[in-house]
Chain A
Amino acid sequence: MHRRLFLEGSLAAGAVSMGSFSALFSAKAMAEEVKRQGKKCILLWLCGAPSQFETWDPKPGTETAGPFASIPTVIPGVHVSELMPQCAGILDKLAIIRSMKTEPSEHFQGIDVLTRGDGPRPPFTRPILGSVVAQQLGQLDSPVPQFVLLDPCPEGNEFKSFKAGNWAGWLGAEYGPVRAGGEYSIPNILRPESITETDHADREALRAFLSRKFENDQASVAAAGYNAAFARVKGLMSCAPLFDIERLPDDDRRRYGPGAFAQHALLARNLIENGSTFVMVANGMPWDNHVFQHEMHQMLVPELDNVIYQLVSDLEQRGMLDDTLVIAMGEFGRTPWLNDARGRDHFATAWSMAMAGGGIRGGVVHGATDERGFDVASDPVDNRQLFATFFTALGIDPNAEYDLGDLPTFHRVEGNAEPITSLLTAG
């Protein structure tokens, strides 16, 4: 195998397995395997990093509070920002971590750590959460993409320049996301009118035969990649309507709200309902409010509040919440202090995130910050513990070792990190 292709993440999926997979043939593991079937995940990726003070961890009456008040929730004694009245009413279905404590305080590094679970170790590319979940829980033969990224603002974050390998890393390009959202539409998935359906099918059969033969005869990784890409496009052509926001019910669209993030969250629900395994909803990097912190959060937080409420309520109503993990987080939090541009700056020392469904226990607030939010006061959680919790909730072994041949040893979560059991329904 060409080393460069491997390092860029172009390795075919079949060449990668987890060391623990041998255990799948034990009865217990099989049971677990069956149990985890059907688990899915929606990641509301709050890129830019939202303020914990204006969301999950308000500090009323202190110098760091900002201008917004706090409100009580259905959990006695627990308050959230007044900008989140709908989540306050369903906090018994949400789990909040108020004691996130991570290392990177710059975006790209923070994005890396909080989407992959660990820091970079060049030249190896650790797969992003969506790729791992798609590989572990998805169905590769499904025409519906297993990992979808909805982000209408590609200039807003590092994802614009990402190739499939940047996402899926050593898992292989087929576990990268199908990308859509806004003007970032899926190109060329409609059959040209000049080609009949029969002609199209015949051409595809011939192409598949020849390239599969070449792939087998030459043991060609490149041909395997092309075949996977063709299969994906073929699947996309059949499920293109799933990506069409205009086809979603008007009432649903009204409930979620008019903004791109809200509409794409609804689209995520639709994709999950119809066979996707992991949908990541982003909207550029709007939370990075170094200027106009309060002027921006007054708009962004109510939208997030409503999106979480609608998603959790819809999933519950459809009987899907227990199997669908909803995560809302960014790459870190914001400073307790305000800069002179009315902004809050990057802060990885003490921040918050939220989860619901999919094996996560509702009504739990894990950890705490000090009186003014300068530091974690109890139960700090780092990225490894967080990812161990995600994976365990989804029925994926967090400590399994990747089988990468002669390459260094990597685990799905490094350092034998343990999940936060108080957050798990099976804990």
Chain B
Amino acid sequence: MPFTPMPPSSPNRVKDFKLPTAVLAAARINETELLAGCFDGVYRVNLEEQSLRKVGQHTSYVSSVAVLPQRGQYLSAGYDGMLHWYDLATDERVRSLTLHDFWSWDMAVSPDESLVASVTGQYLAGGYKYEPAPEREPSVRIVDVASGEMLHSLPHVPSVQAVAFSNDGQFVAAGNLMGEIRIWNARSGEQVATWTTPDFTSWGIIKSHCYLGGIFALRFTPDDSALLMCGMGPMHDPMAGNGKQLWQRWNWRADPPTKDDQTHEGDAGEGLMEALAVHPDGSWFAMGGRLRGGNLNVGMFGISDGAKVGSIKSGYRVTEILFAADGQKMILVGGQGQPDKDKDGRIADFGRIEVYDVA
């Protein structure tokens, strides 16, 4: 059996950096620079110099960013439904496109940098028990990166909160509030798989008769045979936020798709998980989010056996996980609770970026 390197069970933090507002998304520009999508705009962050520069703005929160090194560009999408293109060298905004009437919840770029997919959808009451109303606009948009042309507008049930491309760029997957996953051929727009996992969605038995939760992140496994997803297990009181920190791995090519694995008993605590990243060597993945109960808010798991191999208790909500190209470092971004103003009326910085040694 080949040797499979695993991270240390408790990785060491080697950098800690604060931003003015919570970081909802990040992408690596190079070994020292990050692009961060925050409540208040897009920042270029130099981790070595511990410096930052605001380079972009949406009229609401920035929900996703992506770096396209081959094209010399980067992208940002936001809760204003917009997609912006920027020149990587000059930071000049070179194109904007209205993707959605509502938020862009999540945005992803195909590995060859030719396609960008974004998902939207406002959860509105559609029934007596607050079943989601049908979409008012296409929930999934696929756009040609080079021309900005809208290639496909694909249907789903709002709210659609997570999107991912397969590693070969052929497929795009989107997951929603109700735990329904749809996968399309990214080029043709043909739907190739759909199924529902009920394990991420709460219907409030107490306090509120409505739906809450859903799938918050998706990633294909390195060979594209399976789809990883994460969120939070069901709760009786959806306002408690105490559902199980949950990931699942589905064989999406089976007919019907089958659940192969999920968070092992005792391997996680409580809280919403909203970030997934597969280590560059493909042997393990990390899941991150919020700690509501238990001992971790970032867990590292073997990709083949699902066993927990490491964990971090960061003390803030993790919204995105990145790896250095060589896999030696893991980067966490997110936000602490927004503090009350201090006596001078200033709100202290509450965005966080941390770097951990996982070699």
Interface residues of A (CB under 8 A from B): 48, 63-64, 67-69, 152-153, 155-157, 182, 257-260, 262-263, 283-286, 288-292, 295-296, 298-300, 302-303, 337-343, 372, 374
Contacts and interface: CB of A to CB of B under 8 A. Distances in A.
Contacts of B103: 67
Contacts of A155: 205-207
B122 A284 contact: no
Contact of A153 (B207, B240, B241, B339): B207
Most buried by A among B208, B212, B213, B337: B208
Contact of A259 (B127, B207, B271, B340): B127
B56 interface: no
Chain B residues touching A, majority SS: loop
Contacts of B124: 298-299, 302-303
Given A63-B347, A291-B238, A291-B239, 14 more contacts: A153-B206, A155-B205, A155-B206, A257-B125, A260-B128, A262-B125, A284-B209, A288-B239, A291-B240, A296-B212, A298-B123, A299-B210, A337-B340, A340-B290
A259 to B, nearest CB: 4
Chain B interface residue number, banded: 35 or more
22 contacts: A67-B79, A68-B60, A152-B209, A153-B204, A155-B205, A155-B207, A258-B126, A258-B127, A258-B128, A259-B127, A259-B128, A283-B208, A284-B208, A284-B209, A285-B207, A292-B238, A299-B122, A299-B123, A302-B122, A337-B347, A338-B337, A338-B338
A220 B335 CA distance: 64
A284 B212 contact: no
B338 A48 contact: no
B337 A340 contact: yes
A374 B341 contact: yes
Given A48-B207, A260-B209, A339-B338, A63 B21 contact: yes
B123 A295 contact: yes
A107 to B, nearest CB: 10
A340 B208 contact: no
Contacts of A339: 337-338
B212 A292 contact: yes
Contacts of B205: 155
Contacts of B95: none
A340 B335 contact: yes
Contacts of B340: 337, 374
B60 A67 contact: yes
Interface string B218-240: 00000000000000000000111
B204 A286 contact: yes
B208 A286 contact: yes
Q: Which of B40, B123, B339 has the most CB of A within 10 A?
A: B123
Nearest to A152: B209
Nearest to A83: B122
Which A-B residue pairs are the 10 nearest by beta carbons? A286-B208, A259-B125, A291-B241, A337-B338, A155-B206, A339-B337, A340-B337, A67-B79, A340-B317, A338-B338
Contact of B122 (A259, A285, A298): A298
A338 B59 CA distance: 18
B281 to A, nearest CB: 31
Interface in B190-206: 204-206
Given A63-B338, A259-B128, A259-B130, A289 B79 contact: no
A284 B204 contact: yes
B250 interface: no
A286 B122 CA distance: 17
B210 A296 contact: yes
Contacts of B341: 372, 374
